Amino acid sequence: MLKSLSQRLLSIDALRALTMLAMIFVNDVSGVRNIPSWIEHVDASADGLGFADTVFPAFLFIVGLSIPLAIGRRISRGATFISTEKHIVIRSIALIVMGFFHVNLESYSSEAVLPRALWLLLITIAFFLVWLDYPDTVSSRNKYLLMGTGIVILLVMAALYKGGEPGQTHWMEPSWWGILGIIGWAYLISATLYLLVKGRLSALVLVLVVFLGINIATHAGWMRFSIPVLGDASSAALIMGGAVLTTLYSWLQERGKQPGIFIVIGVLAIAAGLLIRPYTDGISKIRATPSWVLICAGITTLLFILLIWLVDVKGKMSWFNAIRPAGTSTLTCYLIPYLVVAVSGLVHFQYPSALSEGWLGLLRSIAFAFLVIAIVGWMEKKKVRLKI
């Protein structure tokens, strides 16, 4: 099963591109006032689901969809278990480190040596220096010199960091690890388990059931303790759900069957999420409840089967050309807005009030998302992209 999953699915690239477009949009629109409430995140204590609440779980699910294909490609090239696991660990560390810096940005203190915007600009530049996909035209000496410079910048920024309120400052803390950190930890667990069970569908389904069981037990009040790293298993369940789906897709393809069952799986996941809603703390992204996990997994599954039909079967990938860089240089797309925020902060730029509320604000955020992707597309042509 490991070797059979080595072909790239363009439908996953399209799904990833759509999700990153949505992520850039919802991150930017969070600063827009007087917009329909269904677009935004629901409150932490609420039982409900906004559009913004569906984006991050979709991204986790897509990470899972990609695991069988990425590992399959490495195995087909002759990679060993140890080298593949090393690759998984290195990728995870990269995401965890970036997430660690980002989450500490939230509590950055006014008493710190550097202004917040400058600190953000420097760590983002450092991320690019460390994890840039350097072209062959760059010599090994220059490559490692630039990577080393990035590491030094991160160490200096960590040393200079102060967080918290004036008079009560503290150094960097993991907190909730940030978006990238959560992805990193969940990817490390899920990809390692996928490798250990050699991509066997039955074993992956069992692991998924265990993760969902932990998530349900935690929010139903049956588990009074937290599992280190795994936590309530919500993120790992979403990633493993994606891995199961891609593995099932390969299993069906080998037998000449169509993935129509994905529609059933998607509908059942949504129904299950609604069914357990009253018993497992409602629907909430912030609390990472089982209903949120299942409903969002179901929605993403239905979107995935639609894109399989549209892109892989009907060959309509060209429809997504405008946002394709978001599916192929996704991490770069995620980080570019941080550069924009940093530079805007340094020059004290603010949008006119008319572009910070209502429909004009929404249009601004949509335009910003497409602009970021266009910039990343230009960067791709110049061979400037991140790779972990």
Mean pLDDT computed over 59-81: 94
Phi-psi region of 50 (alpha: psi -120 to 50; beta: other; left: phi over 0): beta
Provide the token pair at 232: 């309530």
Does a structural domain hold residue 350? Answer: yes
Q: In one letter, which amino acid is 291?
A: S
With H, G, I as helix, E, B as strand and everything else as coil, classify residue 385.
coil
How many H-runs (helices) and E-runs (strands) does the chain carry?
Answer: 13, 0
Does a structural domain hold residue 158? Answer: no
Integer Cα distance of 304 and 299 in angstroms = 9
Q: Is the pLDDT of residue 4 over 80?
A: no
Does a structural domain hold residue 311? Answer: yes
Does a structural domain hold residue 343? Answer: yes
Residue 258 vs residue 274, higher pLDDT? 274
Query: pTM for this one?
Result: 0.95
DSSP state of 163: B
Integer Cα distance of 41 and 284 in angstroms = 9
Number of domains in the chain: 1
Q: Is the pLDDT of residue 1 over 90?
A: no
Give per-residue burial for 201-238: e unless 16+ CB within 10 Å, then b.
bebbeebbeebbebbbbbbeeeeeeeeeebbbbbbbbb
Report the DSSP beta bridge partners of residue 33.
357
With H, G, I as helix, E, B as strand and everything else as coil, classify residue 339.
helix
Provide the token pair at 184: 């990193």
**Cα atoms in the Cβ-side hemisphere of radius 13 Å centred on 91:** 22
Does a structural domain hold residue 112? Answer: no
Mean pLDDT computed over 159-173: 93
Q: Is the pLDDT of residue 276 over 60?
A: yes
Does a structural domain hold residue 210? Answer: yes
Does a structural domain hold residue 331? Answer: yes
Query: Per-residue confidence at 386, pLDDT binned at 50, 70, 90?
Result: very high
299-348 residue pLDDT tens: 999 999 999 999 999 999 999 999 999 999 999 999 999 999 999 999 99
Integer Cα distance of 220 and 232 in angstroms = 11
Does a structural domain hold residue 101? Answer: yes
Sign of CA dihedral 109, 112, 118, 123: negative
**Domain of residue 64, residue span:** 10-107+173-381
